[in-house]
Structure 1
């Protein structure tokens, strides 16, 4: 029968005058320059996907899907030293309408330092652009990190990418089976690990779930591109691998009889195949704030925002950088750092997870252009988490000369 689903938006971005959007971007650029930026470029991506699905099995599904992503890069230059530093936006791509662009006080969170703001379900682009310029300038004279083992305090807009690469992709069943191999590899998380029923993907605190239903997320739709109603399911429960992401023609391989509802095609003339749903780390159950987490760390680094990354062809050994780094000494922020990247492997990293902030800090990171398959197809996916602590992680200095 005929059914329909629509992203629950409050303001359609395509009904907002272009002049108003341009004005916002230019105001953000001006705020960055006023605060010391040498260069700034800003963008506003908006998507409205009208999708109609009909199948010979009797499904007729009409969906109206909205996504939005405000972003920028702010660069500060020290001409005398011949150096530059760039700070990206702390926004997230969202499955929302233009209401995301209207800042709400309750959606603003304080980061590692008092004048650092992070955002939840709405975004203050102008405010963030000014802060980005000040932070980029501060980076120019910040201390270069001493390599070694640190406890890491990872903010959701950073941790989301690590979740994406080290949990999202390796638990795609087609990658596990080797059906998907040529583009970004297969997976270390092989079938025998699931069948054993005791593979410790992470510590007991780690609960990671997949879904296509979280309101505001990029992956949220009513039905997938095989006509299956979307849902939520566990991937890692109390640290143990319990499931993959699978579609109709795959689930029998893992002894299940119902698709997970995560099949996707980027357009009518592309083949639909298994795509990553939202993959999120559940928040801690006990009240615990970011400030408390920092207070409990003796020697650590707080990392916010995404940066460069690399992961091997089995989604196992990896390296991640970020946007902004702060040194933690004896429970206090000791200043900004430069040249930080951490190296680990997926199992070691997730087993080093010792604390997760509560649900008040939970928010979404997003990948607006996630690629998979050949010919390549692009999909959008979110990753929720709260600020999380990982102990004894190897940190290298990316500014070193060899």
Structure 2
């Protein structure tokens, strides 16, 4: 490794310390290389056919091959300085087969010859045959039609990699400057941009070329009380999105009296950081909450994480079956509850669905990593558990004939497995604004932004915090609170849902880095909702007594 590469890798680690969940991978490349074309589709098809033919000749009854090029760019700043700019690329090929009724997988980095992909396929077959000696039952794979040669591209308006670095730096330093001018003592800001170029082929007859884009603008503001030394923070209320740079270019028509409309599809980072700096100063003198029962008004910027942990994870079928017990537990939502056809997950207002097609979501793709066309399906209907999230070798367990299209790997070198789809709470059917929802609350708290969380190994008992808390008294906002967290269990919580705002308030939250599996993989997933009300939830005071 030369000096330039060493410095860049070292800087990647330093920058990632600000956001420790960001995985650092791939080799460093020049910024212009992010726009260089990948392999020609015709060449990718030849590489795929070589693997498919080699696997079949060695006895595979099913084969799929994924050719992946993964591009990342970080722009990392603090106060008035650029801490790092990082560009990475990862390219390789992964081959998965079924032989003697068992899965086998092999991968090779930088594979650009048919001989390399064929060798990987032969290795995958050998692994499958060795593993088969320990199997009790053969893999039962749901049928899947071949789609021939097809493609899907994220409907972005502006490729973030085409935007000059200087423009991105100017944006972030402008964000930092606005925070400092409005009372912040410290501020970090980051732009993280992703482009996944994924090619899939299978012995079912599919050749699928996909181009996926994601973007995540994020900051963290800190204000300190000089007398006490205590500090308060707020992170950005942005959601990572499956969009291009247009996400950061708010249309003036979306401005209402100088304030970004809550219904805008764009994100005004400058406006948010100005508010964040002011709010952290207010948090320093906010009243500490009194523990007790409250009606909670939960903003989508907060509720997405509660959905993720209490719905998305427990309704992954591999958790239900106990396959995922070694990483964050299994699930309380066992098969017998689904089989009863009347298990009460929430109130009649609670309709939770999975959807891999939502425009702008992190999980939006045309096909999953098994070549299954993505779709939307219900998980909880009118409060009743009706389905799970499952893939080709699982769906027979729940009596279905086709996969739901939620099988993914986080890179060409990882084997694909069952992952969470975009899981969301459907908006209410009747017109209802946030003000309408608040006006009849006698004792409540309005929570904005995600914070700390804890949930048990069955994804049942939990505790969640947020970023901003506002006391509600007799139908009006009465001031800011702090030291707030609420405790409940999944069934009790969702049954306390009494109101959901309509689709005008529907917004996405989400995470670039949903961890799962051994070895761990990270997946990008969104969760949508409208602002929702939950009555009689237990709130605790989280202040540390010194």
Does TM, scored on the shorter chain, surpass 0.5? yes
Match of 1:208 in 2: 352
Shift of the alpha carbon at 1:88? 0.8
Q: Secondary structure at the match of 1:334?
A: strand
Matching of residue 39 in structure 1 with residue 186 in structure 2: yes
Q: 2:403 aligns with which of 242, 259, 267?
A: 259
Q: Specify the SS of the correspondent of 1:10.
A: coil
Check 1:119–1:207 CA distance in 2 against 1; reply closer, same or farther (3 A cut): same
1:76-126 deviations in Å (ceiling 9; x for gaps): 00021111000110100000000000113565699xxx9897564100001
The answer to whether the Cα contact below 8 Å between 2:293 and 2:537 also exists between their aligned partners in 1 is yes
In structure 2, the residue matched to 1:85 is: 232
Relative to structure 1, the CA distance from residue 155 to residue 374 in structure 2 (aligned partners, 3 Å threshold; closer, same or farther) is same
Conserved? CA contact 2:235–2:276, under 8 Å:
yes
Distance 1:295 1:133, change over 3 A: same
| C-alpha distance in structure 2 between counterparts of 1:100 and 1:335, whole Å | 32
Q: Deviation at 1:54?
A: 1.1
In the alignment, which of 463, 474, 477 is matched to residue 319 of structure 1?
Answer: 463
Other-structure match for 1:217:
361
Q: Quick one: distance in 2 between partners of 1:119 and 1:81?
A: 39
1:269 aligns with 2:413: yes
How many residue pairs match? The answer is: 399
Matched, 1:12 2:159: yes
Aligned to 2:366, the other structure's residue is in SS state coil
Q: Deviations along 1:295-334, whole A, 9 cap, x unmatched?
A: 1211000000010000000000000000100000000000
Post-superposition shift, 1:401? 2.5
Find the partner of 1:71 among 212, 218, 231. 218
State the alpha-carbon separation in 2 of the partners of residues 8 and 161 from structure 1: 26
Q: Deviations over 1:233-271 (max 9, x none)?
A: 000000000000000000000011110000001111111
- In the TM superposition, what are the counterparts of 1:243-258 in structure 2 within 5 Å? 243-258=387-402
Change (3 A) 1:379 1:67: same
Q: Which segment is superposed worse, 326-335 or 96-105?
A: 96-105
Question: For 1:170, which of 310, 314, 330 is the aligned residue?
Answer: 314
Partner of 1:186: 330
Q: Distance in 2 between matches of 1:109 and 1:61?
A: 43
- Assess, with a 3 A threshold, how the Cα gap between structure 1 residues 21 and 116 changes in structure 2: closer, same or farther: closer
- On the 8 A contact 1:234/1:242 being kept in 2, the answer is yes
Kindly report which structure 2 residues correspond to 1:104-183, keeping only aligned pairs within 5 A, or say none: 104-105=251-252, 107=254, 118=262, 120-183=264-327
Identify if the C-alpha distance between structure 1 residues 326 and 204 changes in structure 2 by more than 3 Å, giving closer, same or farther.
same
Q: 2:474 aligns with which of 320, 330, 335?
A: 330
- Asked whether the equivalents of residues 109 and 118 of structure 1 are also in contact (C-alpha less than 8 Å), the reply is no
CA contact (8 A) 2:392 2:403 kept: yes
Structure 1 unaligned runs (5+)?
none
TM-score (norm 2): 0.72
- Alpha-carbon distance in 1 for matches of 2:391, 2:254: 35
The list of structure 1 runs, each at least 4 consecutive aligned residues, that deviate by more than 4 angstroms after superposition, is: 105-110, 114-120
In the alignment, is residue 342 of structure 1 matched against residue 489 of structure 2?
Answer: no
Match in the other structure for 1:27: 174
For residue 61 of structure 1, the aligned residue among 174, 195, 208 is: 208
Decide whether aligned partners of structure 1 residues 109 and 44 sit closer, same or farther in structure 2, where only a CA change above 3 A counts.
farther
Match in the other structure for 2:435: 291
Q: Which residue of 1 aligns with 2:243?
A: 96
Bigger Cα Rg = 2
Contact 2:361 2:526 in 1 (8 A): yes
Distance 1:106 1:164 in 2: 32
Instruction: List per-residue Cα deviations over 1:329-363 (Å, max 9, x = no partner).
Output: 00000000000000000000000000000100000
Q: Unmatched 5+ residue regions in structure 2? A: 1-147
Determine if contact 1:363/1:386 at 8 Å carries over to the other structure.
yes
Which secondary structure does the structure 2 equivalent of 1:229 belong to? coil
Q: Are residues 1:278 and 2:422 paired? A: yes
1:396/1:69 Cα in 2 relative to 1: closer, same or farther (>3 Å)?
same
SS of 1:209's equivalent?
strand
